[in-house]
Amino acid sequence: MTLALGCIADDYTGASDLANTLTKAGLRTVQTIGVPADDLALPEVDAVVVSLKSRSIPAEEAVARSREAASWLNARGAGHLLFKVCSTFDSTDAGNIGPVTDALREDAGEAIALVTPAFPETARTVYLGHLFVGAVPLHESPLKDHPLNPMRDSNLVRVLARQSRGPVGLLDLATVAHGAEAVSARLDALAREGKGAAIADAVLDRDLAVLGAAALTRKVSTGASGLGLGLARALVASGRVAPAAADTDLGGPIGGPAACLAGSCSQATLGQIARAEAAMPVRRLDPARLLAGEDEAGAALAWAMERIGDGPVLIASSAGPDDVAAVQARYGRDEAGHAIEAAMARIAEGLVANGVRRLVVAGGETSGAVVDRLGLPAFRVGPEIAPGVPVLRTTDRDMWLALKSGNFGGPDFFTDALKLMP
């Protein structure tokens, strides 16, 4: 297998978002969980997206895991490496976007990496280095209250510089408007000035096509699915990949009980849970009881098993910013997050042990905890439920999953997802 594109995603929902985008753009793509074992049978593909759970771990660990993924992808001949980060640039001043980008770039012998989280299809645009989420700058968006990495600065040149080894430059929209050669020339100039990375503006899909073509002339870039789209288009346009139709033969219906789990506290997920109340029984975990050591997971599982024969159920820990802040103040941010993720993983394990083969999970960290506990090795990519969220089919057993990035999906996401998981 010689890969046209090797991708390293810093969380599992982000990985399925990227796998969805690449598939839609005509690249045969598979999503693996972690760095695959050498004996994992993978179909013939153009792109592999290695899913890591490295967004919120110490920077040196994120660098080590990303390097391991890069070695695996390089050994399969990957022509270009994309480090997939969140379209809202989720990170802290301690990392991990800067340290991982620096490491992958240096290992590849490159002087500078193009970096952009722009993904216009989901209303993430970058102008003069400032990230906008819909109509508001990042620091005014709900991301300012993210439970793990509150984003309070919209100037990504500044944000990335605080977590990078060297200075960071800007590739402005005026340069992007002049095309891929102008972008490449500007990258060279910024590298000569000693910049190790450049935040690239992009407002429309056509900007992504330019950035993708410019990025492809180097070995490493960093971005969200928008840059993935640009790279995929450039690979197809250059003839390096023959566009393939999406894989429609993922296996037949699976049926049986279905369940949804939500650990994301994003505004979008909170709205989707409220809407789901009209369609299915919803159980809300009590984080204070859970963190006090009560068996909330066991109780939720027993609750689910009483109802699951009648239709899908939803179990959610999700809460609004004030409640999240109160839990974190009492138990600590990481402790609370990890304990809730572990409870969700336990619930998922119990559900699957009791026959659930159709599972929807909301939240990147939550999805990581669940998928790891279930020991799923890789996914094939099915139809799109909403921009950035595909249906996934496990490669080693009959199971449908949907891993929803916190901010993605329409108001009826949970029922929309289950409709596509027969």
Ligand X SMILES: Nc1ncnc2c1ncn2[C@@H]1O[C@H](COP(=O)(O)OP(=O)(O)OP(=O)(O)O)[C@@H](O)[C@H]1O
Ligand Y SMILES: O=C(O)[C@@H](O)C(=O)CO
Query: Taking CB positions, which residue lies at the least distance from ligand Y?
Result: 14
Peptide bond connecting 96 to the previous residue in cis, omega within 30 degrees of 0: yes
Interface mask toward ligand X for 1-20; x: CB under 6 A: ----------x-x-------
Query: Taking CB positions, which residue lies at the least distance from ligand X?
Result: 406
Decide: is 296 part of the binding site for ligand Y (CB under 6 A): no
**What are 362's strand-pairing partners?**
262, 404
Among 59, 148, 168, 378, contact with ligand X (rule: CB under 6 A)? 148
Interface mask toward ligand X for 368-407; x: CB under 6 A: -------------------------------------xxx
Of 36, 46, 57, which is closest to residue 6 (Cα–Cα)? Answer: 46
The count of residues interacting with ligand Y (CB under 6 A) is: 12
CA dist., res. 89 & res. 207, Å (int): 19
Interface mask toward ligand X for 316-355; x: CB under 6 A: -xxx---xx--xx-------xx--xx--------------
**Residue with structure tokens 């810093």?**
10
The smaller minimum CB distance to ligand Y, of residues 129 and 387, is found at: 387
CA dist., res. 272 & res. 22, Å (int): 26
Work out how close the CB of 403 gets to ligand Y at its nearest, in angstroms, rounded to a whole number. 9
Q: What is the 3-state secondary structure (H, E, C) of 300-327?
A: HHHHHHHHHHHCCEEEECCCCHHHHHHH
DSSP class of residue 412? T
Enter the tokens of residue 144.
């300012």
Candidates 9-17, 163-171, 180-188, 208-216; binding stretch for ligand Y (CB under 6 A): 9-17
The letter for the amino acid at 167 is P
Phi-psi region of 65 (alpha: psi -120 to 50; beta: other; left: phi over 0): alpha
DSSP class of residue 374? H
Q: Among residue numbers 344 through 403, which ones bind ligand Y (CB under 6 A)?
A: 364, 388
Among 8, 11, 200, 227, contact with ligand Y (rule: CB under 6 A)? 11
Decide: is 211 part of the binding site for ligand Y (CB under 6 A): no
Work out how close the CB of 282 gets to ligand X at its nearest, in angstroms, rounded to a whole number. 14
Candidates 113-121, 144-152, 169-177, 208-216; binding stretch for ligand X (CB under 6 A): 144-152
DSSP 332-351: -HHHHHHHHHHHHHHHHHHH
The smaller minimum CB distance to ligand X, of residues 269 and 394, is found at: 269
**Residue with structure tokens 């980008």?**
101
Among 365, 371, 394, 421, contact with ligand X (rule: CB under 6 A)? 365
Q: Are 231 and 82 in contact (CB under 8 A)?
A: yes
Q: Which does 366 bind (CB under 5 to 8 A by kind): ligand X, ligand Y, none?
A: ligand X
Q: Which does 224 bind (CB under 5 to 8 A by kind): ligand Y, ligand X, none?
A: ligand Y
Q: Are 9 and 50 in contact (CB under 8 A)?
A: yes
Interface mask toward ligand Y for 81-110; x: CB under 6 A: -----xxx----------------------
Q: Are 114 and 205 in contact (CB under 8 A)?
A: no
Query: Which residues form the interface with ligand Y (CB under 6 A)?
Result: 11, 13-14, 17, 86-88, 224-225, 364, 388, 405
